[in-house]
Amino acid sequence: MTFQQSHAADNNAPSRRSSRTTPKWDKPINVTVENVVKSYGKTFAIKDVSLDIRAGELLALLGPSGSGKTTLLRILAGLDQPTYGRVTFDGENALGLPVQKRNVGLVFQNYALFRHMTVLGNVAFGPKVRPRDQRPSEKEIRKRALDLIDLVQLGGLENRYPTQLSGGQRQRVAFARALAIEPRLLLLDEPFGALDAQVRKELRRWLIEIHRETGHTTVFVTHDQEEALELADRIVVMRDGRIEQVGTPDEIYDEPNSPFMFSFIGESSALPVRVDQGKLWLDQHPLDLAPGNVPNGPARLFLRPHDVELVNDTRGAIPGVVSFLRRQGGTRRLDLEINGYGDRIEIEVPANFSHLSGQVAIRPRRFRVYPVAV
């Protein structure tokens, strides 16, 4: 690995020196997952998953517990083998390589640091245990480790032990240790899950900066949709061992391809409706909303709290009665009982909205209609 000169201020720790040598990383790799199945007896954790991971992208595996996202990450890492299927790194069969030869950097939720080693010892561990013919000199290992410690903004703390660090600092050490082996692929398993909300926010911004600087092909598992939307170039949403949808954060949020996707990503409400000859009905009340290509029959209308507008006339709109309201920052949240139908939805209106009780009418600015299987 060669090095190039750059300068960075360290605001979080005593500075070890005014400048550091930043690693110049190898070209990022493409990863391909083809028809991967993972079963444990008759139980399937992954069901025929295919996915192309682009070189240099930050990809999120998002989904509820039991969706298969961590199992897929473990297969990429070599910690699990698929029952069927193929995984390639730049066209090379990765499944034929042991964990050590895959050269994958791993970061876990619980840091997995060696408590008896200093920060420097933890970061230098990977290069030190390489086979003798691949191992850099002690001097080079130390130099690289110190440069990585600076990169993760912990310069001056190299002689501390993990127990002397905060949770956020320990996770930075875990990142530096993963980068020290010069990985072809960086895999993160719920990397911020053990941290409090404020530290998670700070480390998200930091991870984006690190990714821009290193350019690794990076895959991270999370159950936190806000985290995935903020960090990822693309998001893979998994459910019951399958991929539900793949897309950019905008595509996943604005163009959900199923009722599950609409309800899983972001806040939403749903109303039972009926499609009849290209028109949408709420019980016997016609709505001035186009159902798209949804066939005649029962359906569900999905909408988001912030994607509605209040209107003066109930004709063609959704009528409701305010049942509860609360202030939320610069807005108000209203719970609406939809007149006579026994359904409730939540909407967001400006904080200065004065009509805070009684009947209102709303019209969704953006919505989706999905058919209901009979």
Check residue 160 and report its DSSP letter: -
Residue 25 DSSP label: P
pLDDT at 62 over 80: yes
Q: What is the pLDDT of residue 35?
A: 98
Contact residues for 76 (Cβ-Cβ < 8 A; gap 6+): 31, 33, 87, 94, 104, 185, 187, 219
Question: CA–CA separation, 261 vs 237, rounded Å?
Answer: 8
- Reply yes or no on whether the pLDDT at 341 is more than 70: no
Q: Of 210 and 235, which is predicted with more confidence?
A: 235
Q: What is the pLDDT of residue 15?
A: 42
Percent of the chain with pLDDT over 90: 59
CA 128 vs CA 121, 143, 327: distances in Å:
9, 13, 56
Query: Helix, strand or coil for residue 102?
Result: helix
pLDDT at 186 exceeding the cut of 50? yes
List of residues 6+ apart from 53 with CB closer than 8 A: 30, 31, 32, 33, 59, 217, 219
Among residues of the chain, what percentage have pLDDT more than 70?
Answer: 91
User: Mean pLDDT, to the nearest integer, of 249-261?
Assistant: 95
In this prediction, residue 25 carries a pLDDT of 66
pLDDT of amino acid 195: 79
Would you state the pLDDT for residue 324? 85
Range with lowest mean pLDDT among 76-85, 136-145, 187-196 = 187-196
The CA angle 221-261-52, to the nearest 5 degrees, is: 50
pLDDT in the model for residue 189: 92
Of 14-23, 241-250, 334-343, the least confident: 14-23
Q: pLDDT confidence of 301, banded at 50, 70, 90? A: very high
* Kind plus residue range of the DSSP H or E element containing 119: helix 119-128
| Structural domains of the chain, ranges and CATH numbers in brackets | 3-254 (3.40.50.300), 268-371 (2.40.50.140)
Q: How confident is the model at residue 17 (pLDDT cuts 50, 70, 90)?
A: very low
Residue 61 has pLDDT above 60, yes or no: yes
- The whole-number pLDDT of residue 340 equals 67
Q: How far is CA 146 from the centre of its chain?
A: 30
Read off the pLDDT of each residue in 302-329 and give the average, rounded to a whole number. Answer: 90
Residue 150 has pLDDT above 70, yes or no: yes
CA 114 – CA 365 distance, rounded (Å): 53
